[in-house]
A and B are shown apart, each in its own frame.
Chain A
Amino acid sequence: MTASTVEAAQSVVEPVRYWTRQRKVGVGLAAVGVVAALLFGSLATSRKAEFTLAETISGSAVGIDGTVGAVVFGVLAALAGAAMLVTARRWFGWLLGLGIVSALISFLCWQLSQAPDNLNTIPLGSVARSSVTLALPLILGALAGVLCERSAVINVAIEGQFLMGAFAAAMFTTLAGSVWVGILAAGAGGLIIALLLAVLAIRFLVDQVVLGVVLNVFALGLTGFLYEQLMAKDQSKYNQPTFVPEWDIPGLSKIPLIGPALFKGNIFLYGAIVLVILIHVGLFYTRWGLRTRAVGEHPAAADTLGVKVLALRYRNVLVGGLVAGFGGAYFTLLSTTNFNKNMTSGLGFVALAALIFGRWSPIGSMLAALFFGFCSALAFSLGSINSPIPSQFLNMLPYIATIIAVAGLVGRVRAPAADGTPYIKG
């Protein structure tokens, strides 16, 4: 009561400050644009930088003089930033998008114009396709996080669920000779960690962030141990999974740019799309979703109205485990040919970051994952055009971009109110 009065009084007297977040971002963007125009413009050569929508670098492409492109698009980014100062909140998203894309094109003009002949083309179709592919495990992992954390159980154990899923998928695909058995086993692998997470967090009230970190180490040790004791001794018997089949959607897969990215996929791509839609609709338009959100925000109120808080939490955490385990299968059935110790190399944590970056929503998490996937894909294609930037710095790109995005654009995020707090009835 008193608190709200104080807050109301403050909001009345507080003047509207000129330097809002939008304006600060605008200044930052304008500075980036100026730097891009000057730096990239001076570094770029007058050779052509070519962009093609296809998946390969042969075929028709749009070309632009390197120096001109770098300067023009740098200036465009600076203008977009300057416009933000004037428009403040209006069109913020559009201007930001325009500015970032322009700065990126300016950068690419420099990179492409200095590349050796016949490498100065960037196949955007291929970049789009690998962005989506690289984002797949992150989307699935973040969705698992959404399921858990919307019902107030923090899931830091996505990494562990990935590892168990990857291990189970490799082992059971090889043993059974079928990827579908492997995928089911992967779900079960994720489920094991989810079960430990659920019981220890909900029944035994263990601090959930701590628990997640420890379960990751547990999964890392367990899969590593079983790998050494079983797989490493007889690779052909336990560790030679086959790839998942590719399903092209006829017609749609011929669309340039988005065709190869979205309609030339596999079970993981279509599964991820379906799951994002299902969880989004489920969370915001069904009774289950309303209850889940209620349990995540105010479990006592939900309980008063007859929602079984603990049962719902168990169910959501376990379903989350299935989803993350499925995501783990990606590593052994799609991205590489067999299981290796610690093969997920921390991508579960990146999925967690995507979840927070996406503000605990299925669509937001997906976009955050795609952003990360795009940065990785871009780093990869810059590597293949002999970029003068050392490969290690290109590899840093997705991580640094995430830090900048989180610090500069997202800022303070608000988790579900009860996230991480165990519920004790009475």
Chain B
Amino acid sequence: MTEQTTASAEDLAAAGADQLPPPRTFAGRFLASMWTANTVTVTVLAVLLALVIGGILIAISDEAVRATFSYFFSRPSDFFTLSWDKVSDAYAQLFKGSIVDPATVQAAVNGTGPWERVFFPISETLTYAAPLALTGLAFAVAFRGGLFNIGVQGQAIMGAVGAAIAGFLLPLPVGIHLVVALVFGAAFGGMYGFVPGFLKARTGAHEVITTIMLNYVALFFLGWLIVQKGIQDPERSDAISKPVDDSAQLTHLLGFLGPSLRVNLGIVVAILVVAAIAWLLRRSTFGFELRAVGLNPEASRTAGIGVGSTYVMVMTVAGALAGLGGATIVLGTAVSLTGAVIGGVGFDGLLVGLLGRAKPWGVFFAALLFGALSAGGNRMQSFSGISLELVGVIQALIVIFVAAPALVKTVFRLRPAKVSGLGTGMSKGW
């Protein structure tokens, strides 16, 4: 609905604007198409805009920069050079912390530094990206089915609980143990997703309310569980569970280069699951029914699709995905359950799902971007003294701009083109 109306608004705007004749050469056409509002261009420009606004925030929140305000009109150059230094330094750290630091490459090539340092940033990025891809997918799958799953956080918590319990309570051999722990994570998350789906199908209780409430229930449950006998680490007095057995931990992929490279099998799990969900949505009967219900539940019911049972299935699958996301954290990096074991990975999953336009591979790339921002944000915080919260602001801004292609188009005066927006289901409102 929104997509259609947006398109019609675009057409109106296009009719008014004076159209340039299409360029003849291939290069000309390529350049022209780059400046139309296609999905890639809008996303890139959205990231750019978000970074610019983030830069403004960095500048005005810096005390030295604010000191130059008092004599801005007599010597504005001070303000601009100081701001530029501050912002460019911050973003340079962001890059070095998420992709690669050129200095470490140089050192490694010269033999004066370890290769471990070279791969550290990319390892961190992938470590953060793996659970985000899964929780993003948990949101996206439900979104495609016309459901707004705010409960990703709670489902991921339950997944982490399930995986951890299987990880330190079940004595199983290497290999099988890890698989069983992951399955437990998915099962716990799936059961927790089943509840709101079932309530929606049977009683019509709105999934937004029930999933929000279940997030809190999961959080309190986790808080209770980790101080119970048999769960709490007997050697610790604070609220922390026993560590997961080594046999259930996700193997570190680059462990041979050095112990600080945390990237683990989680990212492989994430890629496999993304591929599986892409197939599921596109090719399977369930995927077809899911999309149909998401687009138009009334029409689907008329066509003989069980809307209620689809909702239950959708939420169960979404919960299982979120649970798997929580499981990769506790089996990969956290090792023990604590009150904040999964951090905000469930809520970030909402943004990742939206940024990925609720498409599996889109979600994966969005997770990589968010993972990179988180990894780089850590370095930015410790090297430039910019609070990590800025990353949250930038992430939110990126999604705002991506969700508002009309805004990006206006700012950059792009030519209209078909943008794949977030058209499914939700534009109907509640």
Contacts and interface: CB of A to CB of B under 8 A. Distances in A.
A22 B395 CA distance: 47
B389 A225 contact: yes
Chain B, interface size category, equals 35 or more
A421 B213 contact: no
Interface string B187-211: 0000000000001001111101110
Given A225-B57, A390-B224, A424-B9, A403 B213 contact: yes
B5 A205 contact: yes
Given A205-B9, A218-B396, A406-B205, A228 B389 contact: yes
Interface stretch (B156-164, B253-261, B421-429): B421-429
Interface on chain A toward B: helix, strand, loop, or mixed SS? helix
B426 A410 contact: no
B37 interface: no
Contacts of B36: none
A346 B394 CA distance: 21
A228 B9 CA distance: 42
A206 B409 CA distance: 13
B397 A399 contact: no
Interface in A375-410: 390, 392-393, 395-396, 399-400, 402-403, 406-408, 410
B396 A353 contact: no
A405 to B, nearest CB: 9
Contact of A204 (B387, B395, B397, B404): B404
A301 interface: no
Interface in B208-251: 208-210, 212-217, 220-221, 223-224
B2 A209 contact: no
A224 B387 contact: yes
Interface in A164-222: 196, 200, 204-211, 213-215, 217-218, 220-222
Given A353-B212, A419-B430, A211 B217 contact: no
B347 interface: yes
B403 A399 contact: no
A317 interface: no
Given A214-B403, A406-B205, A422-B2, A208 B429 contact: yes
Contacts of B220: 392-393, 395-396
Given A226-B61, A356-B430, A204 B407 contact: yes
A25 to B, nearest CB: 11
Contacts of B396: 214-215, 217-218, 221
Interface in B381-408: 387, 389-397, 399-400, 403-404, 406-407
Contacts of B223: 392
B430 A412 contact: no
Given A214-B399, A406-B205, A349 B150 contact: yes
Contacts of A390: 224
Contact of B387 (A207, A215, A228, A406): A228
A357 interface: yes
A221 B403 contact: no
B208 A207 contact: no
A207 B403 contact: yes
Interface in B11-59: 57
B210 A403 contact: yes
A420 B351 CA distance: 19
A415 B199 contact: no
Contacts of A411: 203-205
B428 A213 contact: no
B330 interface: no
Interface on chain B toward A: helix, strand, loop, or mixed SS? helix
B6 interface: yes
B256 to A, nearest CB: 37
A407 B210 contact: yes
Given A400-B213, A424-B9, A413 B206 contact: yes
Contacts of B420: none
Given A206-B404, A415-B430, A420-B429, A221 B390 contact: yes
A421 B393 contact: no
Interface centre among B199, B350, B404 (most CB of A within 10 A): B404
B61 A424 contact: no
A208 B426 CA distance: 9
B272 interface: no
A403 B429 contact: no
Contacts of A214: 351, 354, 396, 399-400, 403
B103 interface: no
Interface string B337-372: 000000000010011001000000000000000000
Given A356-B209, A403-B210, A218 B400 contact: yes
B212 A422 contact: no
Interface centre among B393, B395, B406, B421 (most CB of A within 10 A): B393
A346 B344 CA distance: 12
A402 B214 CA distance: 10
A218 B223 CA distance: 27
B402 to A, nearest CB: 9
B8 interface: yes
Nearest to A419: B429
Interface in A342-363: 346, 349-350, 352-353, 356-357
A415 to B, nearest CB: 4
A392 B224 contact: yes
CB-CB nearest 7 A-B residue pairs? A420-B429, A221-B392, A412-B204, A228-B387, A224-B389, A221-B393, A218-B396
12 contacts: A206-B404, A213-B150, A217-B347, A218-B393, A225-B393, A228-B389, A396-B216, A406-B206, A407-B205, A420-B426, A420-B427, A422-B5
Given A204-B407, A210-B403, A211-B400, 15 more contacts: A154-B430, A200-B400, A200-B404, A206-B403, A207-B421, A209-B148, A213-B350, A221-B395, A222-B57, A225-B387, A225-B393, A396-B216, A413-B430, A422-B5, A424-B5
Interface of A: 152, 154, 196, 200, 204-211, 213-215, 217-218, 220-222, 224-230, 341, 346, 349-350, 352-353, 356-357, 390, 392-393, 395-396, 399-400, 402-403, 406-408, 410-413, 415, 418-422, 424
Interface of B: 1-2, 5-6, 8-9, 57, 61-62, 148, 150, 199, 202-206, 208-210, 212-217, 220-221, 223-224, 347, 350-351, 354, 387, 389-397, 399-400, 403-404, 406-407, 410, 421-422, 426-430
